Amino acid sequence: MDLSNSNTAKNLEAAFGGESMANRKYLFFAEVTKQLGMKDLSKLFKDTANQETEHAFAHFRLMHPELVVDDVDSLTEEQKKSIAARCLELAVEGETYEYETMYPGFTEQARADRDGKAEEEFKTQEEESREHADMFRKATHNFGLLTSIEHHHARQYTVALEALDGKTAPEKKASDDPKTQKWICRQCSMIYDPVAGDPDSGIAPGTAFEDIPEDWHCPICNATKKTFMPYEEEQETAVAA
């Protein structure tokens, strides 16, 4: 069935998004209720999250029938490679949209909201407006951080896609200069750049990772400093004269 450019295709995409969001939301609720000591309620949320995943998968299979594998043994190596490549292409497409369009747009909107609506409320309800301004400032900062994360994810998928075609992965190396060496969170891929620092957490620009206090946490996922590792960046290939 050809669903291209149909309302059903749009509805499937919306349904997939809704079920996917429900899955992550219920997993979050499961974690919260687990912390509260409500094991039965936590299990209910987790079980429901798994069911929402199955719903989302069912929608996605209809959206992308080229990825449905009924009998893996009947596939040639070339067919397997083609399916894997399509997965990577879709992943690159999604991550690129996030770092090029979605998060930069969110960043600008958050900045605009902070300067506009929050400032107006400040005049009538000072404390509430201050809280809103802090919230929007934090959102602006986090969206900016997420932009680099999604760029990193997209690049990883691109390298994996190129590897399927036999291309050698580019050489990566950590910087020898602590003032420029970036560090990446193993839990969420947030990248700490010493040039920018983390002003929202009291870390001034130009602060090397080693000089950050040990009680500092990842501004995205709240992981500890020990969760970070040196970020290896691709080396530029020298061009022969």
Give pLDDT, residue 180: 92
The answer to whether residues 99 and 126 belong to one domain is yes
- Domain finish residue from 36, 60, 84: 60
Exposure of 229 by Cβ count < 10 A (0-12 exposed, 13-18 middle, 19+ buried)? Answer: exposed
Phi and psi torsions of 192, nearest 5°: -90, 120
- Among 60, 86, 104, identify where a domain stops: 60
Cβ pair 145, 99 in contact under 8 A: no
CATH number, domain of 197, equals 2.20.28.10
Q: pLDDT at position 148, please? A: 83
CB-neighbour burial class of residue 22 (10 A; exposed 0-12, middle 13-18, buried 19+): middle
What are the tokens at 28? Answer: 């979050």
Angle at which helices 103-113 and 126-164 pack, to 10 degrees? 170
- CATH code, domain with 53: 1.20.1260.10
pLDDT tens digits for the chain (241 residues)?
555 667 888 999 999 999 999 999 999 999 999 999 999 999 999 999 999 999 999 999 999 999 999 999 999 988 998 898 888 889 888 888 888 888 888 777 777 776 544 434 434 544 555 565 566 667 767 777 888 888 888 888 898 898 888 888 888 888 889 899 999 999 999 999 999 999 888 999 999 999 999 999 999 888 999 999 999 988 765 444 4
- Is 67 part of any domain? no
**8 A C-beta contact, residue 92 and residue 161:** yes
The answer to whether 144 and 103 have CB atoms below 8 angstroms apart is yes
Question: Are residues 175 and 149 both part of a single domain?
Answer: no
Same domain, 163 and 81: yes
pLDDT, residue 170, reads 84
User: Which pLDDT score, from 0 to 100, does residue 121 have?
Assistant: 41
Are 194 and 158 found together in one domain?
no
Same domain, 162 and 174: no
Count of the separate structural domains present in the chain: 3
Do 188 and 205 reside in the same domain of the chain? Answer: yes
Contacts of 182 (CB under 8 A, 6+ apart): 175, 191, 192, 193, 194, 230, 231, 233
- Answer whether residue 68 is part of any domain: no
Whether 94 is in a domain gets the answer: yes
Question: Residue 119: its pLDDT value, please?
Answer: 39
158 and 184 both lie in a single domain:
no
Is residue 200 in a domain? yes
Provide the β-strand partners of residue 230: 183
Q: Is residue 241 in a domain? A: no
- The answer to whether residues 28 and 52 belong to one domain is yes
Residue 122's pLDDT is: 35
pLDDT for res 239 = 45
Query: Residue 203's domain spans which residues?
Result: 170-234
Sign of CA dihedral 28, 31, 34, 39: positive
Given CA atoms 157, 159, 163, 169 in this order, what sign does their dihedral have? negative
Same domain, 15 and 3: yes
Q: Which tokens belong to 119?
A: 């400032």
Q: Which of 153, 169, 185 is the last residue of a domain?
A: 169
Asked if residue 240 is part of any domain, the answer here is no
